[in-house]
Structure 1
Amino acid sequence: MGGIKPEDLTEARIMYESIIIRLACPKATQSDIEALNANIDSAEEARQSSNFTQRIQRHIEFHRILARIAGNSIMVVIMNGVLDIKVRFLQTAGPYDNTFVTSSRRRFMKHFAARNADAAVVEMEALLKRLHELYLSRLLVQQNTAAKSKVNRPVEM
């Protein structure tokens, strides 16, 4: 990922998601809320069927839907760029247990549907921070495994 640190990505996501949620919350139609809830259901089905690729796609699409609801084309472009970087991190981290995401998303949706943007932002920020810690731990395990395999490799003569 070059010079992009996971901390920078999470910080950007929290910043942009907060703005997007505050823009989208008062604009969301019943159809928008239904689309977000359907996305949560679809992501949960992908998790239960252990379809990691589909699960990533569904979770990323949730954020893209929110950006579209916000109705600001610049924010959509920015968020799409941030999410494209996020997909690369997720692919690097590999499959992980994220059973807690669905319950967080459901809490988020209660706040969002009630037009409580402040509570929705707090829920999203807490989830993004928790996911950040999970990704970091996955990446550290991978780095340690790679380092151990180099140490245990026989020296060629």
Structure 2
Amino acid sequence: MSAKTIRFDQSKCTACCACAMACMDEKDTDVEQGERAIRQVYTEERCRDGQVSFRFHSDSCLHCRVPACAAACTAGCLYKDAESGLVLYDTAACDGCGQCLNACRMGAISLNRHGKIQKCDGCIKRQRAGKIPACVRVCPTGALYLGE
């Protein structure tokens, strides 16, 4: 089963944060305990010739073809899954060293309240069950969608 990756169309994003909320709910993220949301939504403000404009972003793991995070992981908990093509992880194997955090150019990896890795896994369990990822499911504008 080749899982599809989550794609983002910036022109459709309104920064409503429904994707981030759905992700936090799906992954049981506890921000009150210091956990960071896996999907980040932010606004970029631009000013050109006296005109102010805004662009919105919804970011998470890009599931790189050659993931630097996996190469940096000395515990071997991060890996490129051959079946799905996603960069997945085994929390039980994580020793919390943080090397993957430093290696990820997107800043898409963080440690959970137990000092273990957390990152977007493309909602692989949902996809294997024939469902779409939580963030894609709730995006009201279609800014998030599944692609190859």
The TM-score, its normalising length taken from structure 2, stands at: 0.27
Higher helix share: 1
Larger-gyration structure (1/2) = 1
